Chain A
């Protein structure tokens, strides 16, 4: 079955979404991520969506829900790399990703999670 890979870096999980996700794939990612937070005792989750040219209400809700679930499991989520056109469309659509922290890129996302490359 098709899956989006989740990488572990210390106590962080890194997900880079590089395919146009259908709804089931988005749900599988949500399930996999919550499971990995527990299995790896992760304290932070970084979701890189810089390759996504679309975030619709379903994917947006998946991101919001994942962040909420992660928070309950004591992990913080940062979504990084959103394209400007995607941000504009999301707001006009009426989706404001409540409770989701965002950063411009992976490096800033790591900083937000209290990590540094150096």
Chain B
């Protein structure tokens, strides 16, 4: 569990409870540097391959992971991501849970608008990655951190 903030942990727990499926092979990857993002992309790709996601779905998931990891580092001041394989009895999936102990997001609707950015980026990180995955949930507390949970299911 991410130790930097109790809030982050609470957000994480709250989000995790939303999917009722078996989770396995949990791995935590720290997110501090540019190289961590590259490492995460590789890890996500391996998991996507393991459950035989199509090439397009692999690419979408890895791209979403890259966007969210960069957000965690750039806006959240660093954090971590938990990778898991999902199995709801009918299909397999890959779940990613990003957590940081940063400033959080005061206006989620605004942050999820295409083109909105607080940091000089393109403003596609959150809104764009939401379109690339099947499940997308955010929990945040201003001044304490945020957690973003995404999942992609095998079709």
A residues with a Cβ closer than 8 A to B are 20-25, 53-58, 61, 83-86, 88-89, 92-95
Contacts and interface: CB of A to CB of B under 8 A. Distances in A.
Given A54-B66, A57-B128, A85 B59 contact: yes
Interface in B38-92: 38, 41-42, 45, 55-56, 58-60, 62-63, 66-67, 70
26 contacts: A20-B38, A20-B41, A20-B42, A21-B38, A22-B37, A53-B45, A53-B59, A54-B41, A55-B63, A56-B63, A56-B70, A57-B122, A58-B70, A61-B122, A84-B56, A85-B55, A85-B58, A85-B59, A89-B56, A89-B59, A89-B63, A92-B60, A93-B124, A93-B131, A95-B122, A95-B128
Contact of B131 (A54, A56, A94): A94
A43 B66 CA distance: 33
Contacts of A88: 56, 59-60
B143 interface: no
Interface of B: 34-35, 37-38, 41-42, 45, 55-56, 58-60, 62-63, 66-67, 70, 114, 121-122, 124-125, 127-129, 131-132
